[in-house]
Structure 1
Amino acid sequence: MHVALYSRGFVREDLEDIQLLLDELKRQEITPVVYEPFYRELRPHVQLSADADTFSRAEDLDGRIEFLISLGGDGTLLDTVSFIRDKNIPVMGVNFGRLGFLAGIGREEIHQLVDALVSRSYVVDRRSLVHLDASIPLFGDVPYALNEFTIHKKDTSAMVKIHTYLNGEFLNTYWADGLIVATPTGSTGYSLSCGGPIVFPDAASFVITPVSPHNLNVRPIIVPDDNVISFEVEGRSDQFLCTLDSRMEVIDNRVQLAVKKEDFSVSLLRLNEGNFLHTLRNKLLWGIDTRNAGRK
């Protein structure tokens, strides 16, 4: 079995857990295929098996790769989307970060993680993606995102006017600093911090959330994900920002933009013990009150 390992980097406190993961993989005769920049940084500090391999591009993740393990926070896991693309390689996120809605496996569960891969005793969550169509080439071969698409004003420029349409029918003009179109997965990310609702991962929907709207009657709205959402942007500045997860492009208001549900999805793996409700209670500290003592 070959398992890819991806991380943006590490801090010294992570080394013990990374070594544990490598040892567990070796114990189970699993060959690690490590992201090349991470491998170069890691090599002087840990013991890697002699058969360890590396990858640096999406094309390197061929049919031999059965799983990808993300080591970091949610941002690190979002990066993996640009590597796995439509290859249907399941992703398991080990949380070396802070909140960790997506990277939900704790560093103390590394042993169970490897055992679950070998015994296939995990749960697969299929997560939808948002796809961007534009009148000019944007975001190369990865015009999609797991969390969200955003339009945002550039730097300190004035607010933008974002005329928004559902399947060609006018929805609203958002006078705001920006606009977010989030997947259910992304509803607990940027959209949540801007007042958007939490949506269950299997809900077939998009969340449209304005960023700092200048009209108090404008609120987030949930729409079915079979809609095509298109935009026309105006502003005092000719340029604005367009993002897919953590990737960004600077474009002008002549560019036509539309988003829809991507044709393929991403598989996130979790251990049997975890589920979305457990994650919400744990990460958002719901029910942490002495009056709830004894409740599960």
Structure 2
Amino acid sequence: MKVAVYGQKFCEKNIPYLNQFIGYVSSHSIEIYIEKSFLNILSSFKEFKNLDFPVFSHHKELTKDFSLMFTFGGDGTILSAITLIRDSGIPIVGVNTGNLGFLASFNKDVFIEKIDQIFNKKLHIMPRSLLSLKTSVTDHHKFYNFALNEIVILRKETVSMITIDAYIDNEFLTSYWADGLIVSTPTGSTGYSLSCGGPIISPENKNFVLTPISPHNLFSRPLIISDHQKILLKIHSRVKSYSLSMDTRLTYLNQDDKLYIQKAPFYIYLIQEEKNTYYKTLREKLLWGMDQRN
């Protein structure tokens, strides 16, 4: 068996957990490949000074014979990891060493207790849909055309609102006059979209949601559409450019650049401890239903 390990940062208090993980895979003759930049971070700690594992730094190196990728961090680490995973189908085991841990569902304190079940594939693999983007921009370094959480259009270098003409399957929907617009997957519905008044959509639903950001209209509300539908966005602004973000990646486009958004042709697969943990996560992480009166 061959596994990949990825992270973006590391702190001393998490050394025991990673040490136990490395000890386990070594004792079970499991091949471990560590992302190059993450290995450099680990090498700054004396406990990992002499780590001698093969590395990877490009998505083409993550071939289909990898069984799993382990991410050490939070949800942002998983969002960054999918730029390497892409359409390989390699399942992700998210070990939460960060704060919220909505996607990184394995708490570091109990992660080692479940490691036999993880490697024996006795847990649950949950597919998550993604958004795909097409535009005239092709030369932005390290900007990938897919997103697990959301695609966000925002005004740039102006305090004035922008106008976003939205079309669904080539039919005109409306013109959003707002600070921006969020196009979110069910996975991303608990992120930026939620903070802007968007609905929570459980991951098994085949939907996307369009959520305006600070619209100057009392009746501009989030809209849920089928993920089989295609979205076209045209942006109008008092300045020449606007901001575009996809998950954790940010770039800038000219207002002449149209955006074509649809469902990506592949899924990201997340390993979960239990089959039905989504609503439990809502209660524990987002305090769903919490009331001091009860």
Under TM normalisation by the shorter chain, which class is it?
A: over 0.9
Q: Per the alignment, do residues 122 and 138 of structure 1 end up closer, same or farther by CA in structure 2, a change over 3 Å counting?
A: farther
Q: Aligned residue for 2:90?
A: 89
Q: Aligned residue for 2:259?
A: 257
Q: TM-score, normalised by structure 1?
A: 0.93
1:239: Cα distance to partner? 0.5
Please tell me the root mean square deviation across aligned C-alpha atoms, in Å: 1.9
Q: Distance in 2 between matches of 1:290 and 1:254?
A: 50
Q: Distance in 1 between matches of 2:139 and 2:89?
A: 23
Amino acid at match of 1:196: G
Which deviates more from structure 2 when the two are superposed, residues 191-200 or residues 43-52? 43-52
Q: Aligned residue for 1:130?
A: 131
* Aligned counterpart for 1:152 among listed residues 151, 154, 174: 154
Q: Distance in 2 between matches of 1:274 and 1:18?
A: 27
- Identity across the alignment (%): 37
Amino acid at match of 2:91: P
Q: Per the alignment, do residues 74 and 66 of structure 1 end up closer, same or farther by CA in structure 2, a change over 3 Å counting?
A: same
Superposed structure 1 runs of 4+ greater than 3 Å apart: 47-51, 138-141, 287-292
Q: Aligned residue for 2:170?
A: 168
Structure 2: runs of 5 or more not aligned = none
Q: Aligned residue for 2:6?
A: 6
1:27: Cα distance to partner? 3.0
Aligned positions of 1:36-75 closer than 5 A: 36-45=36-45, 46-47=47-48, 52-75=53-76
1:117: Cα distance to partner? 2.5
Q: Distance in 1 between matches of 2:69 and 2:276?
A: 19
Q: Aligned residue for 1:79?
A: 80
1:41: Cα distance to partner? 1.5
1:106 aligns with 2:107: yes
Q: Distance in 2 between matches of 1:141 and 1:208?
A: 22
Q: Distance in 2 between matches of 1:36 and 1:291?
A: 50
Could you tell me whether the CA contact under 8 Å between 1:157 and 1:237 is conserved in 2? no
* Aligned counterpart for 2:268 among listed residues 266, 269, 278: 266
Post-superposition CA distance 1:259-292 (Å, at most 9, x none) = 0001111111111276111111111223445765
Q: Distance in 2 between matches of 1:247 and 1:141?
A: 7
Q: Distance in 1 between matches of 2:22 and 2:252?
A: 40
Amino acid at match of 1:20: Q
Q: Per the alignment, do residues 81 and 112 of structure 1 end up closer, same or farther by CA in structure 2, a change over 3 Å counting?
A: same
Q: Aligned residue for 2:191?
A: 189
1:193: Cα distance to partner? 1.1
1:201: Cα distance to partner? 0.2
Q: Distance in 2 between matches of 1:274 and 1:42?
A: 34
1:112: Cα distance to partner? 3.1
Could you tell me whether the CA contact under 8 Å between 2:244 and 2:253 is conserved in 1? yes
Q: Distance in 2 between matches of 1:205 and 1:138?
A: 30
